[in-house]
Structures are given as C-alpha cells and as structure tokens.
Amino acid sequence: MKLATLKSDSKDGRLVVVSRDLKRAADATQVAPNLLAALENWATAEPRLQALYEQLNAGKAQGAFDFDAQQAAAPIPRAPQWCDGSAFLNHGNLMQTAFNMPPIPDAETMPLMYQGGSDDLLGACDDLPLPDEAHGIDFEGEFGVIVDSVPMACSPAKAASRIRLLVQINDVSLRAFGPREMKTGFGFFQAKPSSSFAPVAVTPDEIGEAWKNARVCLDLAIEFNGQWFGDPNGREMNFGFDQLIAHAATTRKLSAGTIIGSGTVSNAGGKKGSACIAERRAIEQIANGAPKTAFMKFGDRVRMEARWQDQPVFGTIEQRVVQAPKE
C-alpha cells in the first residue's frame, strides 16, 4: 500500500491513497483525516485503506484523480518524534579517518541516535530555505520507518512487528555547526534544520524481497545539480531498523507516528558514490590530503530516488536550496 499527504488548510494535510505506479490517487479522509490519525488507529484503518488501494489499482476507486507530487507534503508533516540513527558504520569510519576524530566508544555494538525536530517536516518538492551558505549546507540521503506505538524496553523482534511504513528522507545538515555541537555532548540542534521526505510512504510488502532483515535493500540514486553523486544501497546497515527502534525505546515508549531514520546510506569500497557531500569530502581528504567538493550554495539542487522493479518506490525528492527570508 502507498499513502501520501496532500497539502491543505490543515497543518497535518489530507490523507490519500496512491496507486502502485504513483500516477493516481484517491481521497482517504473517510478512513482518517491524516496519516497520523490513521496510524493511531491502525488496526481499524489499515484494512479500509488497503481495500481502497486495491480499488484504485484496479481503476475502480470513485473520485480518483491524477497524483501530483508537487502538491504533496511530507507523509507526516508533524510527527510525534523524529529519531535519526547512524546505522552505516562505513560513513562514520570515513569521517573519523579523514578528520582524525577519535573513535566513538561502543559504536559497533550500540547504535548512535539523536532526536531531530519533528514539527516542520518538508515535502519532496519544497524549497529548502536556509539562512547562510557559510553554515555548510549538505544533503543526506536516508531511508526510514514509521512505527505504530512501541512499548518501552521492547526487543528487536517486537520492534520489527511495530513497523508500519517505509519512507525516503533528505536529512539536511549544516556542517559548520556539527563539530561544536558534538563536542558539547548534547548532540545536534542548530546543525539539523527541517528534514524533507519523498512524497509517498509505503508498506514493507511493496518492495518484496528488497525488505530483508529489517533493511531497505534498494539503491538510493542521488544527483547533485544534475550530475550523478551516488547510488548506495540500504542493505549495508550495520544495525537494522528493528535494532534502531529497540534502541530508541530502551527507556521510553514510542508513540504511533514516530519516525526512525537510518542515517546516511553508505557502502564500503567507494564504487557506489556517496549520499552526502561530507562523506565525499572525507574520501577526498583521505585520498588527496584536502577536500575539494564544496557544500551547497543557494540555487543548488538535489534529486533522490529509490527504485524497485524499475519503478520509483517513494516518488522523487527534488529540491532547491534558497535563502530564507530575513524577518
């Protein structure tokens, strides 16, 4: 099943079901007004949404209309929590090697995670408004999951059973703030502005065998200003989403609608490119003694898309960085 949120007068948008080929949509507000409401009542909402999805794919959904990703908000524009991991150790290892950073204790046995802002998540085609190019503007291609309610101190197996939807994410970073914020021990804050999401959230069955070991085993193709930047695969997560969810729930319960991110998708060996500029700069630092790829400037564009059986799964993130208006 594929679900999206269209922009509306409500800050939480309007829930629609989207066809498998992403061409058509049907209003789903008779089931739930928005995706968060559907997740909070998933046992009742899911079978009704699935029935509507099947009707849409069969061309029998009443009132169906063309799906326009330009009109899509993030699948959940305001989520209860947005918890982002760093589950690809190759990414961290490259950064540590390039910039002579000390190793993080227990990084191979305990996932890294921070809590980002979840009150203003952006749509796939929204501009990225940011205050200053000097802040080191970077994109980060990720996969994520949206969960049902998760009990405190649950096992990874229990956590896996609470995964409801998969998403594709551009976790925007401002690299100039990162070093200081990491040194404080309090984690990211100014370094992490609003993240953006591909237009469609999907149930795991939509990607068949590419959903394996609680990992999205798809290439994430990324273009920067129209040029190939990387297409790393999600299969190389050192911690699956089941482990990330269980880690997040170690001392707290998670509300339905919580989003858990994978962190920057990263593959060993270098042949698959990178999913963020910082990683490419780290590779350049290791190889040449200095980075050469610049961070994003106003007007720069990034495009991200994951495909299954030669079709986009989540739709496409296609965004431009712009200068935020000064108040």
Residue 92, pLDDT score: 86
Asked if pLDDT for residue 280 goes beyond 80, the answer is: yes
Here the tokens at position 327 are 């108040």
Asked if pLDDT for residue 99 goes beyond 80, the answer is: no
CB atoms within 10 A of CB 203: 18
Q: Nearest to residue 218, comparing CAs of 123, 325, 143?
A: 143
Residue 104, pLDDT score: 76
Asked if pLDDT for residue 85 goes beyond 80, the answer is: yes
Span 192-212, pLDDT tens digits = 999 999 999 999 999 999 999
CB 155, CB 162: distance < 8 Å: no
For the chain, the three-class secondary structure string (H helix, E strand, C coil) is: CEEEEECCCCCCCEEEEECCCCCEEEECCCCCCCHHHHHHCHHHHHHHHHHHHHHHHCCCCCCCEECCHHHECCCCCCCCCEEEECCCHHHHHHHHHHCCCCCCCCCCCCCCEEEECCCCCECCCCCEEECCHHHCEECEEEEEEEECCECCCCCHHHHHCCEEEEEEEECCEECCCHHHHHHHCCCCCCCCCCCEECCEEECHHHHHHHEECCEECCEEEEEECCEEEECCEHHHCCCCHHHHHHHHCCCCCECCCCEEECCCCCCCCCCCECCEHHHHHHHHHHHHCCCCCCCECCCCEEEEEEEECCEEEEEEEEEEEEECCCC
Residue 187, pLDDT score: 83
Residue with tokens 């299954």: 308
Asked if pLDDT for residue 18 goes beyond 80, the answer is: yes
Q: Fold for 82-323, please state it.
A: Fumarylacetoacetate hydrolase; domain 2 (3.90.850)
Span 293-306, pLDDT tens digits = 999 999 999 999 99
pLDDT band at 214; cut points 50, 70, 90: very high
Q: What is the pTM of this model?
A: 0.96
pLDDT band at 10; cut points 50, 70, 90: very high
Pairing of strands 82-85, 259-261: parallel
Residue 102, pLDDT score: 78
Asked if pLDDT for residue 164 goes beyond 90, the answer is: yes
92 versus 78: the higher-pLDDT residue is 78
Here the tokens at position 283 are 């590779």
Asked if pLDDT for residue 109 goes beyond 90, the answer is: no
The pLDDT of 229-237, averaged and rounded, is 98
Residue 107, pLDDT score: 79
β-bridge partners, 83: 115, 260
pLDDT band at 249; cut points 50, 70, 90: very high
Q: CA 312 to CA 18: how far, in whole Å?
A: 13
The pLDDT of 11-23, averaged and rounded, is 98
The pLDDT of 238-244, averaged and rounded, is 98
Residue 96, pLDDT score: 85
pLDDT band at 283; cut points 50, 70, 90: very high
CB 184, CB 162: distance < 8 Å: no
Break the chain into its structural domains and give their ranges.
2-71, 82-323
pLDDT band at 63; cut points 50, 70, 90: very high
Residue 123, pLDDT score: 98
The pLDDT of 121-150, averaged and rounded, is 98
Q: Which residues of 92-111 are buried (b: 16+ CB within 10 A; e: fewer)?
A: bbbbeebeeeeeeeeeeeeb
CB 196, CB 170: distance < 8 Å: yes
pLDDT band at 48; cut points 50, 70, 90: very high
Counting every residue written for the chain, the total comes to 327
